[in-house]
Amino acid sequence: MGGLQTIGQRMERFMDDHFVGRAFETEYFKRFLEDLDDKTERILNVHGTAGMGKTYLLDRFANIARELGALPVSVRIGEAINDPRVFCRILLQALGTADVEEAELSAEHQVIREIRTQAGKRTIVLVLDGYEEAGSLDHWLRSTFLPELPSNVLVVIAGRYSLEGPWRHSPAWRRLIVRLPLAALTYEDIRAYLRHAGTEDEAAIDAVWLRTLGYPLAMSLLAPLPDEAGQPADLTRIGTGQTFEAMLGHWLDEAPDEELREWLFAASVSRTFQQELLGQMAGKAVRLTLFERLVRLSFVRRTAGGWQLHDIVWETLRKAFRERMPDTFDLFSQRAVEYRERKIEESIARGEDTSRDLSELLHFAGNPILRAHYRHARTSPHYREPLSGDNRAEFEQYLERRKLKPRAWNVRCSDPATGKLYRFDFTPEESLLRLSVLSVRGLRDLPESAVQLLRSEEGRVIGAFAAVPVRENTWAFLSAAPVSRSLFGSLSGERLQQLKEAAKQGRAWYLYSVDVENLESDQLRSDIVAHLFDYVLAGSLILASPPPLPYYEEAQRSFGFETVPGAEHDDYGTGKPAHTFWLDTRGERLKGFLRKMVGREPELQKAQPAQSPASFPGIEELTEREKEVGRLLAEGHTNQEIAGALFVSEAAVKKHVNAMLSKFGLKNRTQLAARMLGKS
């Protein structure tokens, strides 16, 4: 019988076989334990929201401790029911000791004596799991129990929250604690997990990654066991049915009363929330005490602009709110968009940075590709600086590093609203296409800091952006340089006039190249979006001609760029025509752009399909904008309605109407309407 495995041993081996990720945490714990005698700290505080995989990790820590000859001892804090005596009895049993002696030796003294005895033989790892349930036990542990432990005891305190209050305020405790926050698993972790479970289909792996966001709880509810991996369709059920309800239940357990849950669902409407915004959406004030309870939930984190729910918590609650109360969700969303639009308009009027409110507005984007690209975007720790003599060598090193080690990119993103997955694959050669034009002769010598370097938090160059101002002194360069020359060689008529006007205003830019070291990174893609919107929000005429690949072209169109006819080229050498794109957000167009981006076009524009005006002698003299104004005028709309439909000012509409009256020698709008309808 001695050679047979117990059920517990088989379960432990099974858990080890399926443990993936957490390489940093497990290696850190191993080294910490090995070097314990040389360290000051004696407490590892492992914390993360519900379902982040703390229990699995603690089991792994226990196995590592055994491998190193230490004794792991675990206690679930909730089982102690806030009673020190119950805690001591549970710990004595975990140490393999009989119950407390009848001779009224206190449980506390007996457990301390037993720990000291065991610690005389080997290191002890004491794991206190579920510490968010400690309650009044916390004070006793901190003031009475822990100070009595021998120095070769490593205490692991795990819970939904980091140790705060006296733990952080006391200099002594602060020096003894190392905090180990748990984040979601990486794409490679998820891939390894599923491949081990027998899933080889890359599309299915992508689907699981995008729908779990690397969240261990979602993975445990979704992933099949070995020999049970079904067809790819089986792996797309995450976020629906029982898995959806199970995830939701874990988080709602923290908000047991109805009123707190109502505000929690309200908080899921916007990516970042504040007390003021919640009140605006709900149409009533949220009490300060209730708001404080809300932001203390384990899956709520503080950010620069307010508070956010953890990614998958946010998406799951948002989905539940939309499905359970669609009308209320739509109303709250509309109010949130109006709130952000107002903030952007106020910031623009004051000349202040609008990037934070814009990033929030993007989560309400009407375009599914735009929502997918910006799904995981958050405030970036990266920063940009202009190219100069001081950093030119680093720039050259970045170019050389990218060229020497090109790699295939597999960009994966999904629309949280519809669940649609988008896959964009790049060969190593295609990943260098945008880099190629950064070496164009003369680009780095242009004025006004045309080239900017993107640096990581640590200061390493991780990208380079080239945005050339369209000016009199750059016109020759843009007319001759690869990529841009096709546009400047083909422009005529109204577009040429618009570009010259924008250039004279100092509001025309050619986004010549945008390169990052790894487009698979959600954060780097967010940095690209932030760079683009610097020019969008400044009210600019923006030009670009990225490589002719689906990722770039779909991204341009999703942001509202239009294609310039006749400006195609093959300067990237792919054998496919690269299009040139045009976006004008000057003046009143910016407000229209923002409204269109979030699917809030005026009703007139949405209701009326684009129609060509009737053909009649002289129509060729009209510009495209004049034709649009004339069509709407002929349909009986006022100047104000036309301005709203075309996202221009009423003054601009009057200007176009007067120009058409002049061209045709007409006296009034009635005559112009008749002419536009093909009547003499």
Does the global pTM surpass 0.85? no
Q: Of 146-160, 183-197, 413-427, which range is least confident? A: 183-197
Encode 168-190 in three state secondary structure. Answer: HHCHHHHHHEEEEECCCCCHHHH
Taking only the tens place, the pLDDT of each residue in 521-575 is: 888 888 888 888 888 888 899 999 999 999 999 889 888 899 999 999 999 999 9
Q: What is the pLDDT of residue 14?
A: 46
Q: Which residues contact 23 (CB under 8 A, 6 or more apart)?
A: none
Query: Two tokens at 297?
Result: 């939930």
Which pLDDT band holds residue 414 (cuts at 50, 70, 90)? confident
Computed over every residue of the chain, the mean pLDDT equals 82
| Torsion, CA 299, CA 301, CA 306, CA 309, rounded to 10 | -30
- DSSP 8-state secondary structure symbol assigned to residue 272: S
Taking only the tens place, the pLDDT of each residue in 330-386 is: 899 989 988 988 888 888 778 777 777 877 887 787 777 777 776 665 567 889 999
Q: What is the pLDDT of residue 157?
A: 95
Q: Of 7-16, 212-221, 392-401, 470-479, which range is least confident? A: 7-16
Taking only the tens place, the pLDDT of each residue in 194-249 is: 777 677 777 777 777 766 766 666 665 555 444 444 444 444 444 455 555 666 77
Res. 577: pLDDT tops 90: yes
The Cα–Cα gap between 32 and 13 comes to: 24
CATH number of 383-588: 3.40.630.30
Give domain 7-181's CATH architecture.
Answer: 3-Layer(aba) Sandwich (3.40)
The Cα–Cα gap between 260 and 295 comes to: 11
Which pLDDT band holds residue 277 (cuts at 50, 70, 90)? very high
Q: What is the pLDDT of residue 232?
A: 42
CATH of 601-676, one of 2.30.140.10, 1.10.10.10, 3.30.56.10, 1.10.3720.10: 1.10.10.10
Domain spans of the chain?
7-181, 187-238, 248-364, 383-588, 601-676
Kindly report the backbone phi and psi dihedral angles of residue 82, in degrees, each rounded to the nearest multiple of 5, phi listed first. Answer: 60, 20
The Cα–Cα gap between 580 and 511 comes to: 11
